[in-house]
Amino acid sequence: MTRARVLLLTAALGPLDYRVPHGSEAPLGSVVVAPLGPRRMGGVVWEEASFGAPDPVGDNRLRNLYEIVDVPPIRAPLRRLVEWTSDYYLAPPGAVLRMVLPGAAFADARRPIVEYRATGELPARMTPQRIVALERIGARQGMVRELAALAEVSEAVIRGLVQAGALEAVEVSADAPCPEPDPAFAPPGLSDEQAAAAGQLRDAVAAARFETLLLDGVTGSGKTEVYMEAIAAAVEAGKQTLVLLPEIALTEPMLTRFAARFGCEPVPWHSGLRSTERRRAWHAIASGEAKIVVGARSALFLPYADLGLIVVDEAHETSFKQEDGVHYHARDVAVMRGSFEGLPVILASATPALESLAQVEAGRYRHIVLPARYGGATLPDLAAIDMRRDPPDRGRWLAPPLVDALAGRLGKGEQSLLFLNRRGFAPLTLCRTCGHRIQCPNCTAWMVEHRLVHRLACHHCGHVMPPPRLCPECEDEDSLVACGPGVERVADEVKLRFPDARTAIVTSDTLWSPAKAAEFVDAVEGGLVDIIIGTQLVTKGYHFPNLTLVGVVDADLGLDGGDLRASERTFQQIAQVAGRAGRGVKPGEVLIQTRVPEAPVMSALVAGDRDGFYAAEAAARKQAGAPPYGRFAALVISSEDIEVARGVAQRLGQKAPAADGLAIYGPAPAPLAMLRGRHRFRLLLHAPRSFDLQGTIRDWIARIDWPAKARLAIDVDPYSFV
Cβ distance to Zn ion smaller for residue 440 or 521: 440
CB burial string 533-572: b at 16+ within 10 A, e below: bbbbbbbbbbbbebbbbbbbbbbbbbbeeebbbebbbbbb
Q: HSE-up of 98 (CA within 13 Å, CB side)?
A: 14
Cβ distance to Zn ion smaller for residue 442 or 513: 442
Least distance in Å: CB of 462 to Zn ion? 7
Compute the distance between CA of residue 199 and CA of residue 190 in angstroms, rounded to an integer: 11
List CB contacts of 159: < 8 A, sequence separation 6 or more: 144
Compute the distance between CA of residue 183 and CA of residue 57 in angstroms, rounded to an integer: 52
DSSP state at residue 550: E
Compute the distance between CA of residue 609 and CA of residue 54 in angstroms, rounded to an integer: 55
Least distance in Å: CB of 639 to Zn ion? 17
**What is the full DSSP assignment across 217-269?**
E-TTS-HHHHHHHHHHHHHHTT-EEEEE-S-GGGHHHHHHHHHHHHSS--EEE
Backbone angles phi, psi at 153, to 5 degrees: -130, 175
Cβ distance to Zn ion smaller for residue 463 or 610: 463
Cβ distance to Zn ion smaller for residue 318 or 433: 433
Least distance in Å: CB of 423 to Zn ion? 14
Enumerate binding residues for Zn ion (CB under 5 A). Answer: 431, 433-434, 436, 440, 442-443, 458, 460-461, 463, 471, 473-474
Beta bridge partner(s), residue 591: 383, 551
Least distance in Å: CB of 437 to Zn ion? 10
Question: Is the N-terminal amide bond of 35 cis, ω within 30° of 0?
Answer: no
| Polymer length of the chain | 722
> How do beta strands 39-45 and 2-8 pair?
antiparallel
Whether the Cβ atoms of residue 265 and residue 293 lie closer than 8 Å to each other: no
Q: Using H for helix, E for strand and C for coil, what is the string for 635-683?
A: EEEEECCHHHHHHHHHHHHHCCCCCCCCEEEEEEEEEEEEECCEEEEEE
Is there a binding annotation on residue 264? no
Is there a binding annotation on residue 483? no
Dihedral sign (CA 12, 15, 18, 20): positive
Whether the Cβ atoms of residue 417 and residue 547 lie closer than 8 Å to each other: yes
Cβ distance to Zn ion smaller for residue 414 or 473: 473
Cβ distance to Zn ion smaller for residue 443 or 524: 443
Dihedral sign (CA 367, 371, 373, 374): negative
Phi-psi region of 40 (alpha: psi -120 to 50; beta: other; left: phi over 0): beta
Residue type, 663: A
Residue 124 CA, distance from chain mean position: 44
Whether the Cβ atoms of residue 178 and residue 267 lie closer than 8 Å to each other: yes
Compute the distance between CA of residue 141 and CA of residue 178 in angstroms, rounded to an integer: 20
Cβ distance to Zn ion smaller for residue 180 or 478: 478
Cβ distance to Zn ion smaller for residue 206 or 464: 464
Cβ distance to Zn ion smaller for residue 200 or 433: 433
Compute the distance between CA of residue 308 and CA of residue 240 in angstroms, rounded to an integer: 5
Cβ distance to Zn ion smaller for residue 201 or 443: 443
Least distance in Å: CB of 463 to Zn ion? 5
CB-count burial class (<10 Å; 0-12, 13-18, 19+) for 109: buried
Cβ distance to Zn ion smaller for residue 306 or 509: 509
Least distance in Å: CB of 478 to Zn ion? 11
Cβ distance to Zn ion smaller for residue 335 or 448: 448
CB-CB neighbours of 379 under 10 Å: 20
List CB contacts of 221: < 8 A, sequence separation 6 or more: 194, 350, 370, 371, 372, 373, 374
Cβ distance to Zn ion smaller for residue 257 or 436: 436
Which among 22, 80, 15, 23 is positioned nearest to 41, based on CA atoms?
15
Helix (H/G/I), strand (E/B), else coil: 385: strand
Which among 241, 211, 238 is positioned nearest to 345, based on CA atoms?
211
Rounded to whole angstroms, what are the CA distances from 311 to 212, 214, 334? Answer: 10, 10, 9
Compute the distance between CA of residue 16 and CA of residue 57 in angstroms, rounded to an integer: 8
Least distance in Å: CB of 450 to Zn ion? 14
Cβ distance to Zn ion smaller for residue 386 or 473: 473
Least distance in Å: CB of 457 to Zn ion? 9
Task: Indicate the annotated binding residues for Zn(2+).
Answer: 431, 434, 440, 443, 458, 461, 471, 474
Task: Indicate the annotated binding residues.
Answer: 431, 434, 440, 443, 458, 461, 471, 474
